[in-house]
Structure 1
Amino acid sequence: MYRTMLLALALPLMLVACAYQVIDLGIHPGFDSSEPTGINSFGQVSGFSSKNNGTFRRAFFYDTPGCTRIDVGAAVPEEASSEAAAINDHAMVVGTFKRTDGRLRAFSFHQGVFRDLGVDDRLDQHALAVNKGGTIVGFQSVPGLSTEEAVAYSNGEAVTFPTFVVVPPSGTAPVNRAVGIGEFGEVTGPLRVSGGSVLGMKFFPNLNRWFKIRAASPHPVLPDFDRVMQPQAINAKGNVTGAIGSAVPHAFLSRNHFEPTQDLGTLDPAHPEWFSVANGLNGSARVVGVAQSATDITAFLYNGTTMIDLNTRLEGTSWRLIGAVAINDKGQIAAQGSFNNGPRRAVLLVPVGLFGSIGQVCPPVLR
């Protein structure tokens, strides 16, 4: 009883980790590197392995509780090139595969069943995100053209969203991509407009309407902070993160689309000319991504007040983190790293907390 009470009291502090253990998620045999793309509440990670020539990829998800990498690519028709983009709490994986005729197709993979989500063979279609309820979003495009349109996949169809009034009263345009979806159906994505501007957008399903995320204040040194916003992810509270600016982007956090977007800055406030890009956030608005340091690029965590170089929080290892893509409410982070300057590999960072190392979570799979 006493031990249970201590653990309950310590749990919130454990999640404010002073260090992380690294779980190597491996690389498919015959491939050269691996990259994570998403994480769910149980620490299961979606991703893909790739070859150095960049021509072929193979989707997977890592079942962390079972310490097993599930070969999603084996279920793809003719084992064509495939890329997992996200995973939800039911271990549903979504992504894109390339058919032998060159068409790009959105897919889902759940409990061993693979599904092509689209029906229009004239279009390239991509799945980018999925929420706990299984709602899948992404975008579609006409091959050979640069135009893209955000869609939701439902009952074998790609359903488009309402357009947004860019130039009142009748100048409308579609949001280009649905890059993230929250648990209550709120969606975020970018909208490219004339003049090179990119608007950050947020969709409210109860209103069936897109709203513009308010821009950040102009930066005193860097251009385009108030003209270019690229959302990357949205959480259950509707908070949105991504990057603002173009020449030198900075990570941003929007807690309310009516309020000015927050510039999360860089790893060193004395160097605003360094870049940072946010890729994911959890329910507490802890943000992860990739950022420039004095010597290299690195994975970062924004803990609510400060941007932290995650390489400074690893537990005495030979790993070097390159970037982070997603974080769950337990503080587990999907990232990419290199071991002893070897190939880039998908990894899972597990918070250590107050009680020190949690031991070997999964056996190493380095080859």
Structure 2
Amino acid sequence: MTNYYLNSSLLVACLLATNAAQADPTFRLTNLGTLGGSASWATAINANGQVTGSAQIADGSYRAFIADPNGTMREVVTPSGFNSYGLDINNAGQITGYLLDTSSKRRAFLTNAHGALSDLGTYGGNSSVGLGINDAGQVAGQVIHNTGDANAFVDNPPGYYVCCSSFSSGNDINSSGQVAGFDYSRTPYYFSETNYGHFTHAYIFNPNGQQIDLGTLGGTASWASAINDTGQVTGYAYTKTGKTHAFLTAAGGQMVDLGTFIPDIGESEGADINNLGQVVGKASISYTSNYVNGQQLGGYSYHAFTTRDGVMTDLNLLIAEGGTGWELLSADGINDNGQIVGMGMFNGLQRAYLLTPIAAVPVPSAVWFFCIGLSWLVFSFRKNRNFVQSKQD
């Protein structure tokens, strides 16, 4: 009976230790700095740990950047008279984003693996933005017209195509050429028996022309931000109560509500997803509603989040190294190694950051090595005790 209880206790201890060791990982924070100006933010990270985003230079204008895994930031050489903004990066180090001229017109761009920038033009519209890029160099984005209408586009060298309704966008593209974005829903939403309208829904645009409406979380509209190589999508959607919540699509395409930090009144947005199904984004931590002369001031304050098994965690709680002076406001990119990039405030200044999981002995290996060692000690103790007892007998 004693041996039974002893072995059972060891098993329970091992299981508890395994669960504890599988808790949310902690991170080392790297301040990516700026290009000589006062602000920066990071938008995407590839599998090699290269980061892109935008940073101010000394004269106050902005430049797209690429940062090496060690955090060293380099400017993407930009045509004279333009600001540039990096929005996505593939595993070859190619970056897409947009150029902005003095008249606020945007032009999608693509860099090669060496950082040389090519203007992609406006695809027949007034302006364009490159929003996502896959490893084949295909770019997804949005064309904006003089009328204010907008269309999703996919640039598939050496050609391109524009698709979808008069208000649509291709926000990300995966290795299979699937595009995640938004489009007007084909199903009208009824306000009453006589009044109805069409609202923007999150969509998947397949290479064969098929469009999949992902629906909403019970509200009127939704937007897709990112798609991984398995076809899972994240973004944000309205709930029945009119709040926007981050979502993750399940294998069948159904939206799963990722919730918020503040029940009932909170809001959240999913920004990126890796091939493990981990989502990053931002979620409100507080809400203030102040009115001055009838005008509402204040609103939501946000923190960056990550998910593990669909559970949202504030990234500010997971920084183990380098976090002094930081408040992480948004998380905008995550790779399959669990590295995360985004924007935060460092001693009151807006800065791009990189979070790297702190290496540990693989779980459950470390736990089971401990259990094996403990079991060996118990076995040795029992063996010696039995030997002594036999001598006494």
Q: TM-score, normalised by structure 2?
A: 0.74
How big is the shift at 1:315?
A: 1.2
1:90–1:259: structure 2 CA closer, same or farther, 3 Å change rule?
closer
Paired position in structure 1 for 2:318:
313
Between the two proteins, the alignment pairs up a number of residues equal to: 315
Letter aligned with residue 235 of structure 1: N
Task: Describe how 1:1-367 pairs up with structure 2 within 5 A.
Answer: 18-29=25-36, 31-50=37-56, 56-65=61-70, 67-72=71-76, 75-78=77-80, 80-100=82-102, 102-110=104-112, 111-118=114-121, 123-143=126-146, 145-155=147-157, 157-161=159-163, 163=164, 173=165, 176-192=168-184, 195=197, 197-205=199-207, 207-216=208-217, 218=218, 224=219, 227-245=220-238, 247-256=242-251, 258-268=252-262, 271-294=263-286, 296-315=301-320, 317-318=323-324, 319-340=326-347, 342-354=348-360
Q: Once the two structures are aligned, what percentage of the paired residues are identical?
A: 27
Distance across 2 between alignment mates of 1:305 and 1:77: 43
1:16–1:134: structure 2 CA closer, same or farther, 3 Å change rule?
farther
Larger Rg: 2
1:121–1:191: structure 2 CA closer, same or farther, 3 Å change rule?
closer
Residues 96, 107 of structure 1: 8 Å contact kept: yes
| Structure with more of its chain in helix, by fraction | 2
| Structure with more of its chain in strand, by fraction | 2
Q: Quote the RMSD (CA, aligned, Å).
A: 2.7
Residues 65, 74 of structure 2: 8 Å contact kept: yes
How big is the shift at 1:200?
A: 1.1
Mean CA deviation greater in 129-138 or 173-182: 173-182
Residues 15, 331 of structure 1: 8 Å contact kept: no
How big is the shift at 1:100?
A: 4.6
For the residue of structure 1 that corresponds to 2:169, the secondary structure is coil
Please, which runs of 5 or more residues in structure 1 have no aligned partner?
1-12, 164-172, 219-223, 357-367
Residues 119, 157 of structure 1: 8 Å contact kept: no
Letter aligned with residue 242 of structure 1: G
Paired position in structure 1 for 2:366:
none
How big is the shift at 1:354?
A: 2.7
Letter aligned with residue 24 of structure 1: N
Distance across 2 between alignment mates of 1:228 and 1:239: 19
Letter aligned with residue 211 of structure 1: I
Per-residue deviation, residues 2-34 of structure 1 (Å, max 9, x unmatched): xxxxxxxxxxx99975311101111121x2211
Distance across 2 between alignment mates of 1:98 and 1:186: 27
Q: TM-score, normalised by structure 1?
A: 0.79
For the residue of structure 2 that corresponds to 1:315, the secondary structure is strand
For the residue of structure 2 that corresponds to 1:311, the secondary structure is helix
1:79–1:23: structure 2 CA closer, same or farther, 3 Å change rule?
farther
Distance across 2 between alignment mates of 1:197 and 1:69: 40
How big is the shift at 1:267?
A: 2.3
Letter aligned with residue 30 of structure 2: I
1:60–1:18: structure 2 CA closer, same or farther, 3 Å change rule?
same
